[in-house]
A and B are shown apart, each in its own frame.
Chain A
């Protein structure tokens, strides 16, 4: 008999259907994958199974746990199962910020009438199992995201539940940590014969982890497949798009090096030399009113590299490697402690970058939800860098009577062109940002980056918050734009698969230093440094390994 038997499980919000007639089984000890684009209703299913539907939502249909029907809408009845038979791990490792880790772990045990010492021992053991020691008395904010997710798993596995529901458990983590967390979950589940319901939008990430796969779309289960190679057995058109999105092809190793060596090679566009960045050790900004500590935390050390004309250079590293600091230095938002950056033959001046250099450099950032002023129209958002440019720097643009400003018509025209270039309707310039999806927002961000016709664009985790489908599309767009406009780019990411799909060369950052640099294919085929090997191993893409075989 299956562990979970769901029959015609539906969820409605004020009579409006959210999930419609889901029927599926989960066998004891198996790992079942549940895949779907964002908004497909995956999280709602997880909450419904736990009996944790928010106010206003109600479930119908039958769900049996070990043959006994569950009363999903009865909080008290479901409470007997939560944390004991069934546990839940969320995307965000949300812990009470003002309670220490130990207390939050033991409290669930205390309700099972274990003594305080027993609870302490069980909690310590659970923490040890997830590879954490000495965290019992620490507060959540002193742990990294990955460590917090380990705590969440320890908490979920405390009572050795029969079912662990993991709702996008690794989406907010970098790829290396992702891999570790998934392995850890699998391992613990095996030891305790716990079944896992693994929910994700990323087919590549989970297709190798699971024995069976369900695909959801618009609140219904539309497809299913069994291992091995379950991803390839999916037939529904929507599954196909998910599958396509999961496959990031490697960039054909050709272009810049191949451009005829006979012609004079243009000088590098951007040169970084011996960059170093340190912060005062007590970085608790503002607290330090009465004294200054002399201790320094060195974030970056000895960073030297060149970006050639027309090249896309990847910068990869685990979280905490110093990527975002380096990005801020390259953008001139912060000054390095030591070293210099040269942009198109001129040294980059930090703090007040001259207009000329501003035009040459632009950026696309990670979070599509905080990247735009919600009160400005798309036209104003995209045009912002342009309106700050004196006309002399945009020679092709017609002026107004006022000598040094670009005319509104020219701006409108430029915005329309930029929108077309990123595949959006030019008339959308009069709309506001809340009307656009995450993928469209990143397109708008790219349009803004293109508007001053820059020479270098820095993409700082530009596709990391997108679901796999929009990620795929945006990456295609970026590749195409870089080629048609002969742009140079630095592409920062924690995900080597993304880098591989788009960059000619890669540098690997670890512990604030560049530990490896070279052509993308070389790095992939012959990684030298341990950090690079970790990153390659963590690529969440079974299909890449397949494509390797194909080629």
Chain B
């Protein structure tokens, strides 16, 4: 178990390191002069030179990378060029919206997909199964941002049940905050839930065909007992794989959805940062998001170990 954990941790750190290297190279090294990019073509040479000094651009790429990553390890993501505030402060503020949103969407995804998927998977070929499968086809084809627009149109503008967008901060009360996040979370979750539902259904159907289910049936277990005691945990393995990927789609999807609903989260911040060519802030946010994605897949790996004892076994 310890070795399993250590091995996974090493892979996790290595991936994180290579990803950070790639981000830094893409933004600061390969394109040429970041100072020129940030200030635009009309900037005077003096201004560019001043910015180069401020950003230490005259040093070698390796030293700049080390300084950058070293600062990040101490919580210093650099100074946002447009806001003149530490990037970390901006990010922390915005995370207070993005993280709850992604989490809310994740809970909805799981809450919708697993029960419906299990329901359909144990009733393969019935009318209920077909209906659920058909609905999920539409769910997968739905672009989440268009779905978001439709939700606003129906539930905010026409019915007036929920706010159409914006966010008044958590100070206004948790219920109020959640109300503002509900439509965005649904818009994020439903397409992903459709995918997960199909995986869950397929995995259950597949495990139902395994010979060990037949063994369990021969022991005297009923269909449901055999499926729940032996099928479910095995079916969860592929479900977990997809769920791990989906969390990264939820994080990325949040960028679009925040823009649709005008939520002042990380997604809005990064779109602004890119439009204003604030490379320091852009870089920081991308690193953070990528780190989130990598952490999620690390956690998924650990969860595999929890579900499948073969993986955590001490190898002889």
Contact = CB atoms under 8 A, between A and B. Distances in A.
Identify which of B7, B219, B221, B316 gathers the most chain A CB atoms within 10 Å of its CB: B219
B262 interface: no
A5 to B, nearest CB: 22
B213 to A, nearest CB: 8
A90 B215 contact: yes
B315 interface: yes
Contacts of A287: 7, 315
A83 B219 contact: yes
Given A284-B315, A287-B7, A287-B315, A82 B215 contact: no
B233 A98 contact: yes
A152 B215 contact: yes
Contact of A52 (B217, B307, B313): B217
Contacts of A28: none
B212 A94 contact: yes
Given A139-B313, A287-B7, A290-B10, A96 B219 contact: no
Given A98-B233, A98-B310, A82 B316 contact: no
A84 B10 CA distance: 50
B52 interface: no
Contacts of B214: 52, 90, 94
Nearest to B307: A98
Contacts of B310: 97-98, 139, 141
B54 interface: no
Contacts, number: 79
B218 A82 contact: yes
A433 interface: no
B98 to A, nearest CB: 34
Contacts of B229: 107
A97 B234 contact: yes
Interface in A360-382: none
A88 B315 contact: no
B230 A96 contact: yes
Contacts of B222: 75-76, 79
Given A79-B220, A108-B221, A100 B215 contact: no
B212 A52 contact: no
B210 interface: yes
Identify which of B210, B216, B234, B309 gathers the most chain A CB atoms within 10 Å of its CB: B216
Nearest to A108: B219
Given A95-B212, A284-B315, A290 B218 contact: no
Interface string A99-111: 1100010011001
Contacts of A52: 214, 217-218
B33 interface: no
A152 B216 CA distance: 11
Contacts of B7: 287, 289-290
B25 to A, nearest CB: 24
Contacts of B212: 94-97
A152 B212 CA distance: 11
Given A98-B310, A284-B315, A82 B230 contact: no
Contact of A94 (B211, B309, B316): B211
Given A90-B211, A287-B315, A98 B308 contact: yes
A176 B179 CA distance: 70
B215 A98 contact: no
Identify which of B7, B218, B225 gathers the most chain A CB atoms within 10 Å of its CB: B218
B130 interface: no
A199 to B, nearest CB: 14
Interface string B253-270: 000000000000000000
A315 to B, nearest CB: 28
B123 interface: no
B63 interface: no
A244 to B, nearest CB: 33
Interface in A85-142: 87-88, 90, 92, 94-100, 104, 107-108, 111, 139, 141
A76 B210 CA distance: 21
Contacts of A284: 315
Interface in B257-316: 307-310, 313, 315-316
A87 B316 contact: no
B220 A111 contact: yes
Contacts of B233: 98-99
Contact of B210 (A82, A94, A141, A155): A94
A48 B221 CA distance: 17
Interface of B: 7, 10-11, 210-212, 214-223, 225, 229-230, 233-234, 307-310, 313, 315-316
Interface of A: 50, 52, 75-76, 79-80, 82-84, 87-88, 90, 92, 94-100, 104, 107-108, 111, 139, 141, 152, 155-156, 281-282, 284, 287, 289-290
14 contacts: A52-B218, A75-B222, A82-B219, A90-B215, A92-B211, A94-B215, A97-B310, A98-B233, A98-B308, A99-B230, A104-B216, A156-B218, A287-B7, A289-B7
Given A99-B230, A107-B229, 14 more contacts: A79-B222, A82-B218, A88-B218, A90-B215, A94-B211, A94-B212, A97-B212, A99-B233, A139-B310, A155-B215, A156-B218, A282-B315, A289-B11, A290-B7
